[in-house]
Structure 1
């Protein structure tokens, strides 16, 4: 198969952490749904700032509700049920057209309501006002529980979703489940690896690290060999998605939440595993071996482009960002490797990013919407549109394990077949994780306290302990009972 490039087609993934004013309530006895509708939803509608729409604003449906007369696409078959859908992936227009051309009993009316936070603001407003939400909406995994506790998502097990379970990886299915319920259909995943400057490692005679101990040793070697000019990587204060993957790999379980018992939560963010991860990275910071640039900033991209950083421990979708760095260092050679492990005898694969298709409680026909969400990518043609036009690492073993997918060569990376080399197996081996039902508060507090630790105002253990206290206080104020 010829060399493959996603740079011109993929929607560049953006950080899940966004700034949001934290509203608190003084009455912890307030009922969960009422509180979140008035508190969290108002905060989202007022202050959620997400990534800009990479489709150039051509979606046409943003802010106009989910009207079936306001489709970006053309309806191919008249006088049949129409399911409304908000999504932002770059393949969506072609995928929806293909779906509509292939089905004469249902049609999809697609609108782009914005990417990430922009869409979430509109969705939260629609849920609060009880009108204007689409039947199907694209939501990232780590935001599902936040909308779930607003009562905004349908339990798809009531509409036959279980018959599709084997179409998806175990980890992805775990990520869309809560208790006995399933609240979204997985679309894509972000198995984490290590992007690295092969030329820098080779020039300095340093082996590519396979463990975190080796990573720290390589950091020291790079520092010595380059006189501190090159750091092995970056520990971003606002890198909550990355940090959460690190915690998961180390065995931490920061949150336990079951929508079957929606007022109860377990928070365990200062256990040994969490402190091990914090201490590891903050030790590298203290020794000047890694940077602390904010992620998703020009400074961070420039540091990677210029050779200041030799690695980026990021998901598979970061392959689309690297070729777009401005003013890259001449002769830079980028390659991909598996994420370093704590124990190579017991490797743990982790995920960061990816999105889902959820059915909202405002769907006019939840059963039909569930079927459409489950079948939007269920043909080979539409799966290849997702891969080639959308740059998606689909959460479907049928695609992940196919020769077509494993044999894709990525031109910018020297024709490397990194899907087949390790990312495909990493996605299959990923077991899933539990996310917070108040993601934004968690991300904000994590960034605040890690920034304090990076600045030397508290130790790694103190940061974990303070985060635990803050999360417990916030959860209690939101009406949760702590287990």
Structure 2
């Protein structure tokens, strides 16, 4: 639900995050705030009733309404909101605060891909000591798996981003295209559109989007990153990765996709006028369409992700959790607020009312949510498609402990294949080589 959901942070900030990773692990710092912390549900509720002040850092646009509802439920509580604008700015500011041991928020948003990066050096609080592990059944398995790592619980899921195919129904009708259910069909429809109207493209990729690529590798069954403590295995030539690369290579070699810079004014315009006829992205995208692509109102629709053999299977693209930094001033109140923020029905409804896509099973299955008819998407019940996609997400995906750094070098490795129209597999091999080198420099044992 944020256009910066796949944002990258600077390499320097990542180095700062990882500089003490293995030292923290060997010293027992991976447990976040320490074994003497924790509280019962009764103690958390009593603390909220007594009240106090906490600081919350997030870039989600839903935060103001959620905080308003929280403070109404707990009149003695005050939540100071800092809008950090986006993932890149947020991660850098959070790491700077942690490094300075000053101004650390009590609760902070983190993209799922960034959770390991902060957890491994002991910079997050293990929430199991506060009883929050009991909420596992409230959330989808994929989002829970993103925060339940290394025998701990390092956050609660805020939203999810199951992937879907968003397509311009007007362009499809005008060019006699069919909605593809497999990737072979998708490539065929891309060829057909190029023949029918060379000024239009079925897809766009500027070569700078590692989040989209890793999500599609995930959907193809790839598991290129495996992390076990300080041992990391990287295999960007596994079966699933190769399956994705071989299919995608056809789009690249045959000039079947445009390369407009993603999230630019030109990109929004191309979505609005039909120059880009489809996009494959997370379930948070409808709000982006409504706000940023007014010219496409009524034309766009949502369909399930194409698959390799027609069997429904999916992956996540983006999504965030809320965490408590290890250096937070008031972890008891923070635990209470974080729990309310991500489990209370009033908070979740406020999140949904302002365009968020839930990670909670109950909301994904509710008649009200599934029955929502989107005027922008021609009256389609888009949540039926998106919620079904959430149930098809493949489990077992892992991110690198330095995923943000890996993302920052994507355009210099895999991205070069887009520019040169060369081998994606060669680009992936270069990405792997650089990540192996970097991980070893940070003190990890890296196999690859």
TM-score by length of 2: 0.87
Q: Is 2:256 aligned against 1:289? A: yes
CA distance in 1, matches of 2:356, 2:85: 18
Partner of residue 274, structure 2: 307
Distance verdict in 2 for CA 1:83–1:243, change over 3 Å: same
Distance verdict in 2 for CA 1:469–1:351, change over 3 Å: same
Partner of residue 212, structure 2: 242
CA distance in 1, matches of 2:92, 2:9: 12
Q: Is 2:111 aligned against 1:122? A: no
Partner of residue 253, structure 1: 223
Q: Is 2:326 aligned against 1:336? A: no
Partner of residue 202, structure 2: 232
Mapped contact 1:231–1:289 kept (Cα < 8 A): yes
Please give the residue correspondences for 1:25-424 in structure 2 after superposition, counting only pairs within 5 Å: 32=21, 80-103=51-74, 107-226=78-197, 228-258=198-228, 261=229, 263-325=230-292, 328=295, 333-345=299-311, 347-389=312-354, 391-420=355-384, 422-424=385-387
Q: Is 2:393 aligned against 1:430? A: yes
| Higher normalized helix content (fraction of residues) | 2
Mapped contact 1:269–1:464 kept (Cα < 8 A): yes
Mapped contact 1:237–1:293 kept (Cα < 8 A): no
CA distance in 2, matches of 1:234, 1:436: 26
Distance verdict in 2 for CA 1:256–1:367, change over 3 Å: farther
CA distance in 1, matches of 2:103, 2:303: 44
CA deviations 1:140-181 (Å, max 9, x no partner) are: 111111222332111112221211111111111001121211
- 1:302 shift after superposition: 2.5
TM-score by length of 1: 0.81
In angstroms, what is the RMSD of aligned CA positions? 2.6
What is the SS of the residue equivalent to 2:260? coil
- 1:368 shift after superposition: 4.1
Partner of residue 43, structure 2: none
Distance verdict in 2 for CA 1:150–1:31, change over 3 Å: closer
Partner of residue 16, structure 1: 6
CA deviations 1:60-110 (Å, max 9, x no partner) are: xxxxxxxxxxxxxxxxx9962433321232221221121122136755443
- 1:326 shift after superposition: 6.0
CA distance in 1, matches of 2:129, 2:4: 33
CA distance in 2, matches of 1:125, 1:282: 40
Partner of residue 41, structure 1: none
Mapped contact 1:235–1:281 kept (Cα < 8 A): no
Distance verdict in 2 for CA 1:316–1:469, change over 3 Å: same
Distance verdict in 2 for CA 1:267–1:367, change over 3 Å: farther
| Deviation larger for 422-431 or 14-23 | 14-23
Runs of 5+ in structure 2 lacking a partner? 26-47
Distance verdict in 2 for CA 1:113–1:14, change over 3 Å: closer
CA distance in 1, matches of 2:421, 2:302: 35
Distance verdict in 2 for CA 1:320–1:141, change over 3 Å: same
Partner of residue 47, structure 1: none
CA distance in 2, matches of 1:300, 1:126: 35
- 1:31 shift after superposition: 5.3
CA deviations 1:100-155 (Å, max 9, x no partner) are: 22136755443334432222221101111122111111111111112223321111
- 1:15 shift after superposition: 4.5
CA distance in 2, matches of 1:464, 1:137: 32
How many aligned residue pairs are there? 422
Distance verdict in 2 for CA 1:427–1:20, change over 3 Å: same
What is the SS of the residue equivalent to 2:420? coil
Mapped contact 1:190–1:352 kept (Cα < 8 A): yes
